[in-house]
């Protein structure tokens, strides 16, 4: 969209006899904007399109002192929850801005200086009116009622019932609470025809849902589909061509619903309580929020306390006090020539410590141990069941605080922590570590035994590691 001046549209703004475009009149249908009509930002409380069943409202939505968006929201929700925004990254001024349906068929949003902030691609068409439908869809129709453009084809962060979601669509989260700019979390069909949640940040992009440790079929999906389409129905059922199929917990007719890509990276289905105007979560994609990639930014750590909370490792502080997505920055200076202090870390940790540019590492047991060193830490988290373990964190041996140097050592002794937990009488950790899709249908005794065997298999003293025969025998003995 260019910076075309409103003044350059004079031929469209004036009708026969040089009469200027008219503003909305009280006598008009409340859900229709006729050609040559406008909604003015100064009258944002009254210049509105309201669906005939009063479910949805379209108009100028204000945020902050002087930022307005052309939006559609639920009329009866207490928070006036917005479901669509035309100009999320380009708010307009609270004076002089307007949304106009021009004679050439284009719906145009202009700022105080006449610059175009947003417009439809319907110039030189037979558009006769704009209409807000009862399902929340803003449409442009010709004289016969044929839809030539619709907001349902351009979702922002929310999907409404009967709004088709296809390969060309994305739900993109807001940047934060009260910030309509596009955020870093995306719900979309990938190139394998599978619906996924992805973190798309300034430094990295990564998929985190469905479970990245499973393949397509283990996640109960399929990529053997020639089309990419999904839809939410009136009863609260979501059905997709990749076999993603779920129901709202309050499944049934007569409830206003929305599926929203929230700014915290979770995809949630909400239901509106008509009596209170409040929203209730009736389904969500991610159960453990610390598994959402990028939620705490670079070098940030997600911790359960018991609710998920972002924190910085020792020697680091928030890069932006108002936005955890910006992560953490060091409070120390990095000296690559400074020798590292001797420690008892295993070889992978030592390898990271010896590399001045290494800020994190990951270690994977795939037959033989595989070590990956990384220049930055992303998606760091502390398990709720292993609070002493920071997965992937690497700290400098030298930290400068208040101008003084002092040595810090962060030991992440995974095996010792696990040993202490499984030897305790509290077995509450088992439930949360087993695949949630089993819905509790598993043997807790077998699960505990498998973890014990896994720990024994990585004993530093090879002579203490179990043989394959003893492993099989142990598993057979714990069968219920």
CATH number at residue 135: 2.90.10.10
pLDDT in the model for residue 435: 65
Whether residues 467 and 450 fall in one domain? yes
93-97, 357-361, 384-388: least confident range: 384-388
Whether residues 430 and 456 fall in one domain? yes
Q: Which residues pair with 149 in a beta bridge?
A: 140
Q: Domain for residue 207, yes or no?
A: yes
pLDDT digits (tens, 9 = 90+) for 175-223: 888 888 999 999 999 999 999 999 998 888 999 999 988 999 999 999 9
Q: Which domain holds residue 370?
A: 291-412
Whether residues 26 and 147 fall in one domain? yes
**Token pair for residue 102?**
């021009």
37-46, 170-179, 193-202, 406-415: least confident range: 406-415
* Three-state secondary structure call for residue 47: coil
Whether residues 51 and 89 fall in one domain? yes
Whether residues 147 and 166 fall in one domain? no
Banded model confidence at residue 25, pLDDT cuts 50, 70, 90: very low
pLDDT in the model for residue 132: 98
Whether residues 22 and 140 fall in one domain? yes
> Is the pLDDT at 254 greater than 80, yes or no?
yes
Whether residues 311 and 352 fall in one domain? yes
Question: Stretch 56-67: mean pLDDT, rounded?
Answer: 93
- Of 373, 396, 412, the last residue of a domain is 412
Whether residues 165 and 279 fall in one domain? yes
**Token pair for residue 176?**
């934060």
- Of 152, 183, 218, the last residue of a domain is 152
Whether residues 309 and 256 fall in one domain? no
pLDDT in the model for residue 430: 65
pLDDT in the model for residue 117: 97
* Percent of the chain as helix, strand, coil, to the nearest 5: 15, 35, 50
What is the rounded radius of gyration, in angstroms, for the C-alpha atoms of the chain?
Answer: 28
Q: Which residues of 296-327 are buried (b: 16+ CB within 10 A; e: fewer)?
A: bbbbbbbbbeeebebbbbebbebbeeeebbbb
Higher-confidence residue of 290 and 362: namely: 290
> Is the pLDDT at 356 greater than 90, yes or no?
no
> Is the pLDDT at 399 greater than 80, yes or no?
no
> Is the pLDDT at 13 greater than 60, yes or no?
no
Q: Domain for residue 299, yes or no?
A: yes
- Of 385, 412, 439, the last residue of a domain is 412
> Is the pLDDT at 55 greater than 90, yes or no?
yes
Residue 236, phi then psi, degrees to nearest 5? 100, 20
Q: Which residues pair with 58 in a beta bridge?
A: 49, 72
Whether residues 301 and 279 fall in one domain? no
* Three-state secondary structure call for residue 94: coil
Higher-confidence residue of 196 and 405: namely: 196
**Token pair for residue 307?**
């609710």
Q: ω into residue 306 within 30 of 0, thus cis?
A: yes
pLDDT in the model for residue 20: 44
Q: Domain for residue 276, yes or no?
A: yes
The structural domain count of the chain equals: 4
Question: Stretch 305-314: mean pLDDT, rounded?
Answer: 86
Q: Domain for residue 1, yes or no?
A: no
Strand 257-261 with 267-272, pairing = antiparallel
Whether residues 360 and 244 fall in one domain? no
* Three-state secondary structure call for residue 252: coil
Whether residues 300 and 164 fall in one domain? no
User: How many percent of the chain have pLDDT more than 70?
Assistant: 71
> Is the pLDDT at 138 greater than 90, yes or no?
yes
């Amino acid at each position: 969209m260019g910076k075309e001046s409103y003044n350059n549209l004079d031929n469209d703004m004036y009708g026969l006899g040089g009469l200027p475009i008219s503003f909305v009149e009280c006598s008009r249908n409340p859900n229709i904007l006729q050609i040559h009509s406008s909604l003015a930002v100064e009258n944002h409380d009254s210049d509105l399109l309201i669906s005939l069943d009063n479910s949805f409202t379209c108009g100028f939505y204000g945020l902050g002192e002087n930022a307005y968006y052309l939006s559609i929201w639920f009329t009866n929700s207490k928070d006036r929850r917005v479901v669509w925004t035309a100009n999320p990254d380009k708010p307009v001024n609270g004076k002089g801005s307007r949304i106009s349906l021009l004679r050439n068929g284009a719906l145009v949003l202009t700022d105080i200086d006449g610059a175009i902030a947003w417009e439809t691609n319907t110039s030189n068409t037979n558009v006769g009116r704009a209409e807000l439908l009862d399902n929340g869809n803003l449409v442009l129709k010709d004289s016969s009622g044929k839809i030539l453009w619709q907001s349902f084809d351009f979702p922002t962060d929310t999907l409404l019932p009967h709004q088709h979601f296809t390969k060309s669509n994305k739900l993109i989260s807001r940047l934060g609470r009260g910030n309509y700019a596009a955020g870093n979390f995306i719900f979309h069909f990938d190139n394998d025809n599978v619906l996924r949640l992805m973190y798309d940040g300034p430094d990295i992009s990564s998929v985190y849902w469905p479970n990245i440790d499973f393949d397509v079929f283990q996640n109960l999906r399929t990529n053997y589909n020639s089309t990419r389409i999904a839809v939410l129905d009136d009863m609260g059922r979501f059905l997709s061509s990749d076999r993603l199929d779920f129901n709202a917990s309050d499944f049934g007719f007569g409830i206003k619903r929305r599926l929203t890509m929230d700014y915290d990276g979770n995809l949630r289905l909400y239901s509106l309580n008509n009596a209170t105007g409040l929203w209730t979560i009736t389904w969500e994609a991610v159960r453990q929020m610390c598994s959402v990639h990028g939620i705490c930014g670079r070098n940030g750590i997600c911790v359960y306390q018991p609710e998920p909370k972002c924190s910085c490792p020792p020697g680091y502080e928030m890069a932006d006090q108002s936005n955890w997505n910006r992560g953490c920055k060091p409070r120390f200076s990095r000296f690559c020539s400074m020798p590292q202090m001797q420690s008892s870390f295993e070889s992978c940790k030592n390898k990271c410590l010896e590399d001045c540019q290494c800020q994190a590492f990951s270690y994977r047991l795939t037959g033989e141990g595989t070590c990956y060193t990384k220049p930055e830490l992303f998606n760091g988290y502390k398990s709720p069941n292993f609070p002493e373990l920071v997965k992937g964190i690497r700290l400098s041996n030298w930290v400068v605080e208040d101008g003084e140097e002092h040595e810090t050592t962060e030991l992440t002794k995974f095996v010792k922590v696990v040993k202490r937990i499984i030897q305790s009488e509290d077995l509450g950790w088992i439930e949360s570590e087993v695949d949630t899709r089993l819905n509790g249908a598993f043997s807790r005794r077998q699960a505990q035994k498998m973890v014990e065997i896994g720990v024994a298999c990585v004993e530093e003293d090879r002579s203490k590691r179990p043989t394959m025969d003893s492993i099989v025998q142990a598993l057979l003995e714990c069968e219920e």
